[in-house]
Amino acid sequence: MAEDRENAEAIISEVHKKISDAFDVFDHERNKTVDVREIGTIIRSLGCFPTEGELQEFITEIEEEEATGYIRFERFLPTMTKLLMERKFRPIPEDLLLQAFEVLDQEKKGHLGTEELTKYMTQDGEPFTQEEMEEMLSAAADPDKNVIFYKDFVSMLTVDDK
Pairing status of strand 70-72 against strand 112-113: unpaired
Taking the CA atoms of residue 131, residue 134, residue 135 and residue 139 in that order, the dihedral angle to the nearest 10 degrees is 170
CB under 8 Å to 76, separation ≥6 — which residues?
19, 23, 34, 39, 62
CB under 8 Å to 35, separation ≥6 — which residues?
26, 69, 70, 71
Using the rule CB under 8 A, give the single segment among 1-9, 37-45, 56-64, 75-83 that binds another protein.
37-45
The alpha carbons of the chain give a radius of gyration, in whole angstroms, of: 19
Binds another protein by CB under 8 A, chosen from 35, 52, 64, 74: 52
Q: How distant, in Å, are the alpha carbons of 34, 104, 136, 143, 157 from that of 97?
A: 32, 11, 15, 23, 11
- The DSSP symbol for 37 reads G
Map the footprint of another protein across residues 98-137, applying CB under 8 A: 99-101, 103-104, 106, 120-121, 124-128, 132, 135-136
* Residue 6 lies near another protein (rule: CB under 8 A): no
Binds another protein by CB under 8 A, chosen from 8, 12, 25, 67: 25
* Residue 73 lies near another protein (rule: CB under 8 A): no
* Residue 26 lies near another protein (rule: CB under 8 A): yes
* Residue 44 lies near another protein (rule: CB under 8 A): yes
Binding region for another protein (CB under 8 A): 10, 13-14, 17-18, 21-22, 24-26, 29, 31, 40-45, 48-52, 92, 96-97, 99-101, 103-104, 106, 120-121, 124-128, 132, 135-136, 138-139, 142-144, 149, 152-153, 155-157, 159-162
